[in-house]
Structure 1
Amino acid sequence: MKTPRNIQLIGTEVAIAWDDGSESYFQGEKLRAASPSAETRGEKDILGNQYGGDGPREFPGVTVVGWARVGDYALRFDFSDGHNSGIYSYEYLLELAGR
Structure 2
Amino acid sequence: MTITLVAPTVTDYEVSADLSTLLVRTTEGDALSVPAEKLRLSCKCAHCTRARFDDRFPEAFPAIAITEIGDLGYGLNISFSDGHNRGIYPKPYLLSLAGR
Using the size of structure 1 for normalisation, the TM-score is: 0.79
The structure number with the bigger radius of gyration is 2
User: Which residue does the alignment assign to 2:81?
Assistant: 80
Q: Which structure has the highest strand share of the two?
A: 1
- Give the total of aligned pairs: 92
Please list, as runs of the form range in 1=range in 2, the aligned pairs for 1:1-99 lying within 5 A after superposition.
Answer: 1-10=7-16, 11=18, 12-42=20-50, 52=54, 54-70=56-72, 72-99=73-100
- Partner SS state of residue 60, structure 1: coil
5+ unaligned residues in a row in structure 2: which ranges? 1-6
After superposition, the C-alpha distances for 1:5-44 in whole angstroms (9 at most, x for unaligned) are: 221111221101112201210111111011111121229x
Separation (CA, whole Å) in 1 of partners of 2:87 and 2:65 = 14
Separation (CA, whole Å) in 2 of partners of 1:68 and 1:9 = 12
Separation (CA, whole Å) in 2 of partners of 1:96 and 1:5 = 16
After superposition, the C-alpha distances for 1:51-73 in whole angstroms (9 at most, x for unaligned) are: 65632131111110110111x21
Structure 1 segments of 4+ aligned residues over 4 angstroms from their partners: 50-53
Separation (CA, whole Å) in 1 of partners of 2:47 and 2:55 = 6
The alpha carbon displacement at 1:97 in A equals 1.3
Using the size of structure 2 for normalisation, the TM-score is: 0.79
- Partner SS state of residue 42, structure 1: helix
5+ unaligned residues in a row in structure 1: which ranges? 44-49
* C-alpha RMSD of the superposition: 2.0
